[in-house]
Amino acid sequence: MFAVFPAPYVASSGGVTSLAFHDDAYSSSGQITVPGTVQAGDLIILSDFAALLTDETPALVTPSGFTNWINFAGLYTRIAVSYKIATGSETTLTGMSADFVIDKILAVFRGDAPISSITASTPTTEVTNGNPASQNIVATNGTLPLIAFGLFANGDTSTVSPRTFSPTETAELNGGAGTYHYLKYLLQNASLADVSVDMDDEGLYNMLAGGYLWAA
């Protein structure tokens, strides 16, 4: 007689079975320098936030070789999140420029084997002058290993606080140029869990987004 036990988690079909944070970088200009420790098969994520003083919206700029994943904008503001599987030759990336706010957060993740493919969820996004609605990131529809992300920003440079992320994030990244652009992430290597993100009304141009990527 054979006993059948449920699988403890959904495993990736590729060689990557776990992901870990490796390095980060920040910039308040149109360009950002990639950490010299990046190697082929790493995952590079760039969250690019820009705001203008003029009655226009910043133009979307996706760095060469990257795939744009999240792109949402309101009057004066835009957030663009792009990703790339590194070749190891990346040095300087060119992203969005603006005359009021530019804030770039770059994060590098490394697998226990070189990453060969990335699958991205359809992101949730909202920009409003009021209180953004809570967003549910249905990461249980993904495949391990997976990273769930939450993005929080305010185009009026007001402090974004609180920044709700549940279950608790693995870490939070902030460019240091201000308290108005944050990226939170949750590494999911052993089991999948949905994530909720939320923020309060911090004045004009509140921006909230979420989603997940999985690697193989």
- Per-residue pLDDT tens over the stretch 113-172: 999 999 999 999 999 999 999 999 999 999 999 999 999 999 999 999 999 999 999 999
pLDDT tens per residue, range 22-57: 999 999 999 999 999 999 999 999 999 999 998 899
| Cβ contacts of 52 within 8 Å, gap of 6 or more | 58, 76, 77, 98, 99, 100
In this prediction the pTM is 0.92
pLDDT tier at 177, thresholds 50, 70, 90: confident
Residue 9 has pLDDT above 70, yes or no: no
- Of 177 and 78, the structure prediction assigns the larger pLDDT to 78
Nearest CA among 79, 44, 65, 9 for reference residue 215: 44
Distance in Å from the first CA to the final CA of the chain = 35
Q: What angle do CA 88, 97, 123 make, to 5 degrees?
A: 70
Could you please report the per-residue DSSP string of 149-198? EEEEEETT------EEEESPPSEEEE-SS-SSEEEEEEEESS----EEEE
Q: What is the pLDDT of residue 35?
A: 98
Q: Tell me, what amino acid is at 96?
A: M
| Cβ contacts of 132 within 8 Å, gap of 6 or more | 126, 198, 199, 201, 206, 207, 208
- Of 122 and 9, the structure prediction assigns the larger pLDDT to 122
Give the Cα separation of 180 and 160 in Å (integer).
Answer: 5
Q: What is the pLDDT of residue 11?
A: 44
The H or E element spanning position 209 is strand 206-215
Residue holding tokens 């992203």?
95
Q: What is the pLDDT of residue 136?
A: 98
Residue 112 has which token pair? 């226990």
Q: What angle do CA 55, 104, 133 make, to 5 degrees?
A: 65
Q: Are 50 and 102 in contact (CB under 8 A)?
A: yes
Residue holding tokens 């939070």?
172
Give the Cα separation of 149 and 196 in Å (integer).
Answer: 10
